[in-house]
Structure 1
Amino acid sequence: MLTIKVEKSGGDYSVIQEAIDAVPYDESAVIEIGAGVYKEKIFCEKKDITFVGSGMAETVIDYDDYANEVMPDGSKRGTFRTYTAFFGGKKVTVKDMTIRNSAGDGRVVGQAVAVYADADVCRFENVKMTGCQDTLFCAPLPVAARQQNGFMGPRMMTERRLTKQYYKNCEIVGDVDFIFGGADAVFDDCVITCNDRMFGRSSAGVSASSTTIASGASGSGVDKDQIDVSERIINGYVTAACGLKDNLGFVFRNCTITGASGCEKGSVFLGRPWREEARTVFLNCTMDDSIAPERFSGWGGITKDEPNTFYGEFGTRIATGIGAEGSNTASEAPNSGAEAGKPASLEHKNPWVRDIDESLATEITRRADELVQGVNGDGSL
């Protein structure tokens, strides 16, 4: 197996993309990335490659492409060409680093992907992925786009194939639909944080223009993402799945899901369906009171009926000491003294959201464990 070292100085390479390009497709390789901020847009399409950083706080890959950027031909870049890191091929493992898209507020720049995970088998451990709208894309794409060239990017013309993805001890930060796609993906012991989009409040981090857009510049109360904020503040949606009904979908286990400090109570939804058969469940997770009482939203309206989805929770508990009402930031959870308190109430959930019973939770866990074992093994799923 090849081992290649990337360092700001003294390594085999100083540029990550050059190290990737040096690996023959059929050769297994480990690319060790030293401390520092690497301002790069990387593309990896290899058979079996592992990226190992020097730590979540030490190794940072950063880029700032965004969907509303006008390209030389006059078209917009669109969502799927904005990635900071694209991971394709057969198998990819990523450990001990941060990957971010620093383009900024989606109300101004549109979608901005940090990680485009598209390998047949993907494993991420101790990785922080951070952005605003559409931080993490768990491929594949839906079969068809809703608008012409809506999927412009590296997989627009390819046949869709189901990927298997595992996220362990990761931190994922964003706001609108920031974990999205059609993969079967299991998230274990992750910290998921929705940004505070600061509706009606000034901040050095948000421009006056984005505040105007957020409040509905035309007076309609609908921002550019068609999120109605005229009657209620919505900071974001954690997931936007598009998998098929017989697939596993997104499974979150023993994760901490919160709004960042300052997020309004009830302003964060656990998800909305990018396609009508979306599947997302949360098992034995800890959440704060920024999570909306309806739990999941419909696509195009909070209470829109979504009978074909498979959305639900089991064993959710409400945390104290983190998120909207606490003094700690969500990124410090769950090891900052925050404690899971009483069970979450699903009394006001949308009627198509499931209050999963123990038997069903056990079955979902079995399927999730099978995926994890395959990803952690030889990748033969």
Structure 2
Amino acid sequence: MEKIRISVGPLGDYRTIGEAAEAVPYMASAVIDIAEGIYKEKLSIEKKDITLRGAGMNKTVISYDDCAEQLLEDNTKRGTFRSQTLFIGGERVKVQDLTVENTAGWGNGVGQALAIYADADEVVMENVSIRSRQDTLFMAPLPLTERFKNGFFGPRMLTNRRNTRQFYKNCVICGDVDFIFGGADAVFDNCEIVVMDRKKDINGYVTAPSENLGELGMVFRECHIHGENKDMEGTVLLGRPWRPTGKVAFIDCTYDNSIHPLRFSEWYEMKTMESEAFFAEYNSRDEMGNEPDLSKRNKWVKLLSPEEASKIREAADSLVMSVRRQN
């Protein structure tokens, strides 16, 4: 099927991304080219096959500032899953060469503030900057049950949970608390993960996986994980399980000195004797290329064998080939 091509910008077919997306029939395949500029839009895009293509990371910027603690007209709070700048649903979505940000601010004042709520069956993002503070990137599905009444209030609160497959390549993802989270099978290749400085003893948790309906969980390969400045030594955990059986593996990744010696944490307690979660590393290196001291890690944090790492790589490659073939 030939793709519909639409341009957005001062000289484009449409002035806003929202208008352009609305013009695309659900069953069509479409590419929306977005000119350089800042687009202050809150977007919900749900299509069979759509590509959002900017003029370059940090050149095309989609920006909004909703947050979980925001009071609405009915005197209820917006909540986490209505705070996103960009919601993407449907079947296949590709986003490339642009920035998506939520500028609401620090979580201790505004609560969670999603930049992206990624819910399409297949998601591919390349050369995308994703910026917020707490809960920057949510990758569906939601957990099976909520911990607090109306905790999942939002576009997928009442829908059946199903696995999504997601691929992020050459992206820059910024946040502090639980800022890459959800239950997707997701692969991150050659991404830069930047933890923001909250000026606290624990500045952040990079990942917060929930129970996984697929088999892979989150896999980070050849990524660079670091604090936003050099004054954050030992204040960052690589993850904690949003639900007990979450899965995360970091393979061939590089870290600065911001990573806490425990490496990963349980949800409520940092140091514990056991965990149901699968948190794993292989071939970790510091920024000088040396192997970091992992002897103080939580004992349930797994150091993968070469064979185990190879098996995860193969599963990740299979996911990447599948979603890129479709996109």
Q: Which band: TM-score by shorter chain? A: over 0.9
TM-score, structure 1 as length reference: 0.84
Matched residue of 2:31: which SS? Answer: strand
Matched residue of 2:108: which SS? Answer: helix
Give the match for residue 343 of structure 1. Answer: 291
Give the match for residue 4 of structure 2. Answer: 2
AA matched with 1:247: E
Give the match for residue 211 of structure 1. Answer: none
Q: Does 1:264 align with 2:232?
A: yes
Q: Does 1:315 align with 2:263?
A: no
Structure 1's unaligned 5+ residue stretches are 200-232, 320-339
2:316 to 346, 363, 368: 368
AA matched with 1:110: G
Q: Does 1:251 align with 2:219?
A: yes
The whole-number CA distance in structure 1 between the counterparts of 2:254 and 2:321 is 24
Give the match for residue 74 of structure 2. Answer: 73
Shift of 1:305: 4.4
AA matched with 2:219: V
Give the match for residue 190 of structure 1. Answer: 191
AA matched with 2:292: A
Give the match for residue 27 of structure 2. Answer: 26
Give the match for residue 139 of structure 2. Answer: 138
Give the match for residue 174 of structure 2. Answer: 173
Deviations 1:261-283 (A, max 9, x none): 14421100000000000100100
Deviations 1:225-269 (A, max 9, x none): xxxxxxxx0000000000338620000000000011144211000
The whole-number CA distance in structure 1 between the counterparts of 2:223 and 2:22 is 35
The whole-number CA distance in structure 2 between the counterparts of 1:246 and 1:345 is 32
Identity percentage over the alignment?
Answer: 51
Shift of 1:197: 1.1
AA matched with 1:273: P
Shift of 1:301: 1.0
CA contact (8 A) 2:102 2:114 kept: yes
Moved more, 70-79 or 123-132: 70-79
1:292 to 260, 264, 271: 260
CA contact (8 A) 1:245 1:278 kept: no
Matched residue of 1:177: which SS? Answer: strand
2:209 to 219, 241, 265: 241
Matched residue of 2:289: which SS? Answer: strand
Structure 2's unaligned 5+ residue stretches are none
Deviations 1:165-184 (A, max 9, x none): 00000000000000000000
Shift of 1:304: 3.2
The whole-number CA distance in structure 1 between the counterparts of 2:180 and 2:326 is 26
Matched residue of 1:342: which SS? Answer: coil
* Residue-pair matches, total: 325
Equivalence map 1:327-338=2 (5 Å): none
Matched residue of 1:274: which SS? Answer: coil
Shift of 1:307: 2.4
Deviations 1:21-72 (A, max 9, x none): 0000000000000000000001100000001000002100000000000111
The whole-number CA distance in structure 1 between the counterparts of 2:210 and 2:194 is 21
AA matched with 1:243: E
Q: Which runs of 4+ in 1 moved over 2 A?
A: 243-246, 304-307
Deviations 1:306-344 (A, max 9, x none): 52111010000001xxxxxxxxxxxxxxxxxxxx42112
The whole-number CA distance in structure 2 between the counterparts of 1:17 and 1:245 is 31
CA contact (8 A) 1:198 1:263 kept: no
CA contact (8 A) 2:184 2:214 kept: no
